[in-house]
Structure 1
């Protein structure tokens, strides 16, 4: 089985000031939490495209199976699709000879260290990161694709764990078909269908996932980070004076103003 050297992963664990995904996540939950989660999930910065992110897939035994490079819009957090889908793999970019990609769950390396939580599986790596902040009672993993890693070989890493599948809108039926794989492997699994049931037609058309609902209300630190990104002078003021955020309140203009 092919693997990537750990030193390559370590070399990417910096440069978050030029990482578009980090910039977006920071505006949602604040820079401190964004840094913590990027480190926790071993998310790196890639030079392949300016602002690109690399999601390392590290198996539960510590082997780096691969690295998926993606580019996000730093303002809305959506993947950059124009003029082409910005997605590639580290082994392809580096032209590693005879490399055979065998994918595992994004975040799988956390399984041996977090044993007391049920495992929740989503499609998007970004969603796993954000859901960890909002719903820390679960260990969040990502398939990295609509049904990637939902195969008999990959799910063996989940033996002995309680698993809940949390599909994107419009993917619920496809993920329901995968339940037999878990059951046949002796893995206790449930399917979270409430998102599909509560969604509007417009939300289904957009293909939203659980993170889109979780981040509808941004945290105070996220709001401050967004303000500082828009106005670098504010960041300099906060850092120079070592100011700490106490609270943020919405001020509505009076009817007479």
Structure 2
């Protein structure tokens, strides 16, 4: 298969671009085209123009690799709408999740001095706080790209579901590339079932409410600013889902949506488990300007400047 068979749609004007599957912003997303068939790939295969604020890029190579990873599942469909998972597994209630050997996690913790995200945090956190979040969230380092970070998804039974690999700018803390540990390892017959980032902290304090944000970066930094909560992350705007939140049964959960995303998350609450007591914070919604909403600011974008001034 030629590497030039799949290209970003050429000559796309902003008016004809699509809504980004990650940041949910309109007219920022350019899709890939199969030049042999002259047709688009799935609607979440493409690149967001908001490189600094979003950085979403799902190339054809990763698209087909993910299909191959889940090839052991007989019934799946490619969803027609952007902003939702590439594959929705059907009739999968009997399928058990696969797990990644924890040795991979331990090895990733041994090279933290080369981690761009931790170098960024070193500029905004004191050394003691940095050590706390490194240990608490098991922040790993990947060899996929120089200085890349691994955010491990560890469930409430301390089993490693997968890890999200993100390349950050060590000066700005902005992400530029994303991949997955299960894709890199090419594990045979791997059944991916994600969990919330930080879910392994669920039983650390059964009296603390849980605060839920979109990004792993936000959960980590907010955990220092507001330690009265257990901070977790969905890992994506559209990942506020029933299955991911089921382990939070009988807990109080406060949602902190990004600027411009309040209505979307508020609307999704009705489809979430009824045995969870949900509250949704309008803090970012009220504080954010139109520009900040367009740029997808989150709670951490307000926390960091306060720390830097202090």
Q: Give the TM-score taking structure 2 as reference length.
A: 0.67
Q: Within 2, Cα distance between the matches of 1:100 and 1:66?
A: 10
Aligned-residue Cα RMSD (Å) equals 1.4
Deviations 1:197-237 (CA, angstroms, capped at 9, x unpaired): 221112112110000101112369xxxxxxxxxxxxxxxxx
Q: Aligned partners of 1:116 and 1:26: how far apart in 2?
A: 30
Tell me the residue number matched to 1:190.
279
Counterpart selection for 1:95 from 186, 193, 199: 186
Equivalent position SS for 1:36: helix
CA distance in 2, matches of 1:201, 1:70: 28
SS at match of 1:14: helix
TM-aligned CA deviation for residue 32 of structure 1: 2.8
Where structure 2 has 5 or more consecutive residues not aligned to the other structure, the ranges are 1-96
Matches within 5 A, 1:24-173: 24-80=120-176, 86-148=177-239, 150-173=240-263
- Specify the alignment match of 1:18 in structure 2: 114
2:83 is aligned to: none
Moved over 3 A (4+): none
CA distance in 2, matches of 1:157, 1:147: 18
Q: Does residue 176 of structure 1 match 2:272?
A: no
Q: Which ranges in structure 1 are unaligned for 5 or more consecutive residues? A: 81-85, 221-247, 249-257
Q: Which has the higher helix share?
A: 1
For 2:245 and 2:112, the matched residues in 1 are separated by 31
SS of residue paired to 2:307? coil
Higher relative contact order (CA 8 A, sep 6+): 1
Name the one with the larger strand percent. 2
Task: Give 3-state SS (helix, strand or coil) of 2:164's partner.
Answer: strand
TM-score (norm 1): 0.80
The alignment partner of 2:120 has SS state of helix
Distance in 2 of aligned mates of 1:46 and 1:31: 22
Name which of structure 1's ranges 188-197 and 127-136 shifts more when overlaid on structure 2: 188-197
Q: Distance in 2 between matches of 1:21 and 1:203?
A: 23
Q: Alpha-carbon deviation of 1:14?
A: 2.2
* Whole-angstrom CA distance in 2 between matches of 1:194 and 1:24: 25
The count of corresponding residues between Structure 1 and Structure 2 is: 214
